[in-house]
Amino acid sequence: MDKSGMHASRISREYDDEVKEFLDFAKRSLPNNNGRFFCPCKKCCNLTKLSANDIYDHLICDGINLSYTKWIWHGEGGERTSTSNTYVDNEANEDDESEDRLDEMFRDVGEEFADRSNELDELLSDSKQPLWPGCSKYTRLSAVLKLFNLKAGNGWSDKSFTALLGLLKDMLPEDNELPKNTYDAKKILCPMGMEYEKIHACPNDCILFRNDYKELHACPICGASRYKPREHVVGNASLKGPPAKVLWYIPIVPRFKRLFSNPSDAKNLTWHVDKRISDGKLRHPADSPQWKTFDNAFPEFGHESRNLRLGLCTDGINRHGNLSSKHSSWPVMLVIYNLPPWLCMKRKYILLCLMISGPKQPGNDIDVFLAPLVEDLKKLWDEGVIVFDAYRKENFKLQAMLFCTINDFPAYGNLSGYSVKGHKAYPICEENTCYYQLVHGRKIVYMGHRRFLDRFHPYRRLKKAFNGQQDYRNAPQPRTGFEVYERVQGINVTFGKTQKLISQRGKKTKTNVEIRSNEKSPWKKKSIFFDLPYWKTLDMRHSIDVMHVEKNVCDSIVGTLLDIKGKTKDGLNARLDLIGMNI
């Protein structure tokens, strides 16, 4: 079938006739589709079923996806089953199958690059262009990919990689298509890179300049300029300098699509259902009570084994190494708990989605920067996205949920909105936290651990080894998500480093007018995660990572037992405090 008309101008009669012929072909080839077919326009990329009239409008307005050369989703060369998007080719051979897989990959990423169709077409042509005339082993794209894998795996510099490309280009036949330097090689792979967003932020962490604030040049809360001032202005150059603060956001939806476009990754993402051993032992998050309770509460979500359960982790890093200890940038990462235990914490499966730039840590204002990620998580829960599963050869609606956060204790306080310092620093006990102010050490210690032991544990009877008293109290019960939500929903917080907290905690405002309340609460804010519809139903929303607990506790114990200088907790003040506590 001659398809050259699809490359003609969209306002030409030739293109219009070709579109009509395409629709007639689809109707003849797939008569049982009730008049609805996958739309192959540049925006839909065969991901959405529409009526023939709507497809005609899309193809005229947006044009056809030029990488869709074989109309396999509309009956060319075989039949697509009615229950799934699996294609059955009656004439297929091994070469055709590999070509179809390549087309499927580009169809899957086509939605991301709908506005970059020319680059995608170039990438597709590079994937079919031999490295030199007659070469059957490598294409231009596959050769560059293999070389870049070697570069990344061995830590080559750009300079050495350019020298290698120049040497290889001289060794190969004269009419080879290998790029001559690193810059040209990166241009070939550019369309395969992940999209990202640079979102300007208020330098005082009050807002992000997006949505309603997108066109503003100053923060509406603190008045700080969105841009740094230029020191030297030449002629009529713009006075607008670089942004004062930038949030880097890498959207998560395209990355999930890419995971499922790889057959081996798509297979591993259902390991928790297909290959996990269910014998009552806790080896995987899927064995936890929260996983099972969530499936019972939302059976539609739990029925689809490919729906993702995510863990969020963040902490401050000093990207300048030891050169400066005053800088703190905060990466926010997601881990996928669907994967088997030996893969889910591997570097390639940990998704960096946000980079909050410093130099100051976001602290309580981290909710401002989490807004783009939470919006995507809400979309993945409420609507879902159509994703192609390369392992099962079908499209399905992908949903995802945030299973929990996992951080150290200070970051726990930033994300949950709970004050992790002072007399009520223990989130389980809250107002009933057993604290003791050391007289000589001038620190607050928490002594009520024996409440969590068994009722008749011998430690409950001991006096001298603890604080001179026996302890038979019952352990406090953690508050449910609904109870926490009731406590925090009335808290009024204005984000920003220059703003004082106005809440029920009784803090003072800028005008020193005290906001009085009947009860001072340890909660500082309503966490942005409560915007997720399911968040309040989770039994465990925030976790403490094992590494920090083990390291800090082990360092203190070993340092004290071995009397390591700088590590031991034993000293004159500690001895005097022990006497004061009858220990």
Round to whole Å and give the CA distance between 573 and 431.
Answer: 28
Q: Residues 211-242: pLDDT tens digits? A: 888 888 888 988 888 898 876 555 544 567 88
Closest CA to 23 of 45, 41, 44, 47: 41
CA 130, CA 139: separation in Å to the nearest integer?
4
Res 91: pLDDT:
37
Give exposure, 404-433, as e/b (b: 16+ Cβ within 10 Å).
Answer: bbbbbeebbbbbbbbbbeeebbbbebbeeb
Number of CB atoms found within 10 A of residue 243's CB: 18
Share of the chain residues as helix, strand and coil, in percent rounded to the nearest 5:
40, 15, 45
List, as one string, the DSSP characters of 335-371. EETTS-HHHHTSGGG-EEEEEE--SS--GGGHHHHHH
pLDDT at position 118 = 55
Q: Residue 35: how many CB atoms within 10 A of its CB?
A: 12
Q: Which residues contact 567 (CB under 8 A, 6 or more apart)?
A: 555, 556, 558, 559, 560
Tell me the β-bridge partners of 401. Answer: 309
Query: In this structure, what token pair is assigned to residue 571?
Result: 């000293």
Looking at this protein, which amino acid is placed at residue 582? N
pLDDT at 375: 94
Which residue's structure tokens are 């007639």? 24
CA 353 to chain centre: 4
What confidence score (pLDDT) does residue 354 get?
A: 92
State how far the Cα of 189 lies from the Cα of 22, in Å rounded to an integer.
32
Q: Alpha-carbon distance 66 to 47, whole Å?
A: 15
Q: For the chain (length 583 residues), average pLDDT per consecutive 10? A: 76 86 85 81 80 87 80 69 39 41 47 49 66 81 82 82 87 84 80 78 90 89 86 56 90 91 92 88 90 92 93 87 75 94 90 89 91 94 92 92 92 90 86 87 86 90 84 88 90 79 42 42 90 92 85 87 89 89 79
**Single-letter code of the amino acid located at 519:** E
pTM over 0.75, yes/no: no
List pLDDT tens digits, range 240-258.
788 899 999 999 998 999 8
Q: Is 49 helix (H, G, I), strand (E, B) or coil?
A: strand
Helix (H, G, I), strand (E, B) or coil at 522: coil
The Cα–Cα gap between 359 and 557 comes to: 34
- Chain-centroid distance of CA 567 in Å reads 37
